[in-house]
A and B are shown apart, each in its own frame.
Chain A
Amino acid sequence: MNTANSYRAGPDADGHFGDFGGRFVAETLMPLILDLEAAYGAAKVDAAYAEEMDYWLKHYVGRPSPLYYARRLSAHWGGAKVYFKRDELNHTGAHKINNCIGQILLARRMGKTRIIAETGAGQHGVATATVCALFDLPCTVYMGEVDIERQKPNVFRMKLLGAEVVPVTSGAKTLKDAMNEALRDWVTNVESTYYLIGTVAGPHPYPEMVRDFQSIIGEEVRRQIIEAEGRLPDTLVACVGGGSNAIGLFYPFLDDQEISMIGVEAAGHGIESGRHAASLSAGSPGILHGNRTYLLQDEHGQINEAHSISAGLDYPGIGPEHSWLKDMGRVDYEPVTDDEALEAFQLCSRLEGIIPALEPAHALAHVGKIAPTLAADHLIVMNMCGRGDKDIFTVAEALEIGI
């Protein structure tokens, strides 16, 4: 229900979540964005579209993903009862595919014949390349040169899936630059091309649309936790880079006031070091990639480079809805450093037999900080949004282990 005092009513017709969001793009792109908004508006209320999406999510992605009680970690921390939403078990190993299914079906409805995407860790690139293979559409993925180097397994996967991976050498050569390059491609190839954005950022309607596609995470959790515990959880935790897995978990619960929510940002070498990706904890509002949101920037409005051991969190911005939820005080955002994430990565591997991606390892590190302080009947649900196979080389290097 969209009511005035709901946290679930946004965005408004112009794509604003309070002061955040909007459509800050070149005029060349405006007609496309308006088309996309109309197409999504029509698809959203079309039962056939929903049915088609359900089919692929069930039979291809493998949804619903399990809600798993992490027994040994909970015992290790000796406090709250910790559940993992196992979105790392999705086809392609992360939550990214949920959004890709929704958008590729939309692109087909719109008659688009070519797909482009940006990627950081490569999870969204792999998911996009996957759905493009599935639906026989040519796919070009923009990826920063730095990320290509640290996410080689995913680069190879994309190529196996038939995608063209274009190295981006401008700027910091990471996710933000990949997004710039994808936008430039889109400005150039407006007629044929659909830009499949991987997170809840970009111009309206992307933040809303990607949120809607990812909300299946939280919707499933609601049913599953009631089945497991007979009640709703007390705390939700997820990592935030652009913020799509977090909003997917949080959104269906935003109006359940008694549930606390924590988004975990990448603090890199530590906030005080200046080398981090914590735009909400240490940034300020500005305009980048089509929307107003919290950004890492200098006093002249130039964008700073983010840093995180996790390529998926290495972005100097954040989805605009998170900026709004922060300012409204509805969600808390906490920083976790590279070292803390690495420790959680190893702990989870050994105690649960689950190798997490470095992204949710950040969320897990924060769970490890709060769980011991909470009562045994306190229910935490953390989104295990990706698996760690792609990160083993990065982790081995960080731990100075030869493989």
Chain B
Amino acid sequence: MSWRIERRFAALRNEGRSGLVTFTMMGDPDIETSFEILRGLPAAGADIIEIGSPFTDPMADGPVIQVAGQRALKAGITLDKTIGLVRRFREQDGETPLILMGYYNPIYIYGVERFLRDALDAGLDGLIIVDLPPEEDGELCLPALEAGLAFIRLAAPTTDDARLERVLANSSGFVYYISITGITGAAGASTRSIAAAVERIRRHTELPIAVGFGIKTAEQAAEVARAADAAVVGSAIISAIEKSLNGNGAATPHTVDAALSLVRALSGGVRQTATEAAP
């Protein structure tokens, strides 16, 4: 339910710091390893967790996430199994918000009503569906909001003020600002342009603002966290996973820790903002 997201951002405000949002692909490099990583994320410092649901044709993703999706599909992940992982995660963690990120077709084929029922029941909190702009709100956004799932929208540098109103109209949870026009994993934007963009979005919404695309290091995460309510990191974590795999693309004993130690470092960067912001 979407209350977990609100509660988490309220807690972050109380701590006087910004949050770390992580993205990993379910099923990458195999289903159990991806679950081990997922399970370890809260302790490693992830405040909000985006779980990727792969699609054969991820038109907004760069090579790193494309290949992760291919590994995951090869490992046999499905939307059904991803919901199963959410359920298992909830057996140990009732607080950390879980957001499913992916493309619409697998949900459409699963059946919107059935998906919303199963996802809520398993303990999912929100959705980021890359190829559903406000023009298609009737498809999934409105039914999701009605069912009690947050529908998190992407805003881009191309989203002008008039467009922003439209984008924000039915969004909830938080706003995900993608700091560059481009695909996932590309180079990041300057801190100054991010700060200006966050300020512009704040004039239109009370929702927390998370910023992503191009964050690779703890320093970058800290810089983004100074300007926004949360920093989102995806491709860098997936690259760390990828580097830990053996020649056949299979997990090694280092894979889980490769992901989690990067998350610990990123979290350290983001948490610096607390001390700086303290009065």
Contact surface of A with B, Cβ cutoff 8 Å: 14, 22-32, 170-171, 176-177, 179-180, 183-184, 187-191, 286-290, 295, 297, 299-303
- Whole-angstrom distance between the alpha carbons of A287 and B133 in the complex? 13
Given A30-B158, A183-B59, A301-B108, output 11 extra A-B contacts at Cβ < 8 Å. Answer: A14-B135, A26-B59, A26-B131, A27-B133, A27-B158, A190-B158, A287-B108, A297-B109, A301-B107, A301-B109, A302-B106
Q: How near does chain B come to A313, taking the closest CB pair, in angstroms? A: 18
Q: Among B39-47, B84-92, B179-187, which stretch is in contact with chain A?
A: B179-187
Q: Could you tell me the distance between the alpha carbons of A187 and B160 in the complex, rounded to whole angstroms?
A: 16
User: Quick one: closest A residue to B106, CB to CB?
Assistant: A301
**What's the nearest-Cβ distance from chain A to residue B157, in Å?**
8
When distances are taken between beta carbons in the complex, the residues of chain A under 8 Å from B167 are: 27
Binds A, one of B6-14, B50-58, B219-227, B265-273: B50-58
Query: What 9 A-B pairs have minimum CB-CB distances, sorted nearest first?
Result: A301-B109, A301-B106, A28-B156, A188-B182, A183-B59, A26-B60, A301-B105, A303-B56, A24-B131
B142 touches A (CB below 8 Å): no
> Is B163 part of the binding interface, using a Cβ–Cβ cutoff of 8 Å?
yes
B62 interface residue per 8 A CB criterion: yes
Q: A180-B58, A289-B57, A303-B57 are in contact. Are A25 and B107 (CB under 8 A)?
A: no
Q: Which residues of B in the span 104-153 have a Cβ within 8 Å of any Cβ on A?
A: 104-110, 130-136, 153
CB-CB under 8 A from A24, the residues of chain B are: 104, 131-133, 136
- CA gap between A304 and B3 in the complex, in Å: 38
With A171-B57, A187-B181 known as contacts, the answer to whether A27 contacts B155 (CB < 8 A) is yes
Chain B: minimal CB distance from A38 (Å)? 13
Question: Is B106 touching A300 in the complex (CB atoms < 8 A)?
Answer: yes
Contact of A287 among B79, B80, B131, B158 (CB under 8 A): B131
- Return chain B residues, CB-CB under 8 Å to A23: 133, 135-136
The closest CB in chain A to the CB of B80 belongs to A300
| B104 touching A27, Cβ below 8 Å | no
Task: State the CA gap A41–B56 with chains docked (Å).
Answer: 34
Instruction: Indicate if the CB atoms of B156 and A287 lie closer than 8 Å.
Output: no
Chain A residues contacting B153 (CB-CB under 8 Å) are 27
Q: Which positions 53-84 of chain B face chain A at CB distance < 8 Å?
A: 55-63, 66, 70, 73, 78-80
Interfacial chain B residues near A187, Cβ < 8 Å:
59-60, 181-183
Cβ of A188 and Cβ of B181 under 8 Å apart? yes
In the complex, how many angstroms separate the beta carbon of B156 from the nearest chain A beta carbon? Answer: 4
B142 to chain A, nearest CB (A): 15
Q: Within the complex, which residue of B55, B130, B135 is in contact with A302, where a contact is CB–CB below 8 Å?
A: B55
A289 touches B59 (CB 8 A): yes
Contacts of B194 in A (CB 8 A): none
Min C-beta distance of A183 to chain B, whole Å:
4
Q: Is the CB of A300 within 8 A of B183?
A: no
B105 touches A28 (CB 8 A): no
B132 to A176, Cβ gap below 8 A? no
Residues of B within 8 A of A191 (CB): 181
Contact B55 A184 (CB under 8 A): no
Residue pair B183, A188 in contact (C-beta under 8 Å): yes
Some 22 contacts from A to B, beta carbons below 8 A apart, are: A23-B133, A26-B60, A28-B156, A28-B178, A28-B181, A30-B133, A30-B159, A170-B66, A177-B57, A179-B59, A180-B59, A183-B59, A187-B60, A187-B183, A189-B181, A190-B181, A287-B104, A289-B57, A290-B131, A300-B79, A301-B79, A303-B105
| Contact partners of A170 in chain B: CB under 8 A | 63, 66
A101 to chain B, nearest CB (A): 27
* Residue B154 at the chain A interface, CB threshold 8 Å: yes
Q: How long is the Cα–Cα vector from A170 to B73 in the complex, in angstroms?
A: 14
Query: Given that A24-B131, A289-B57, A302-B55 are contacting pairs, would A31 and B105 also be in contact in the complex, using a CB cutoff of 8 Å?
Result: no
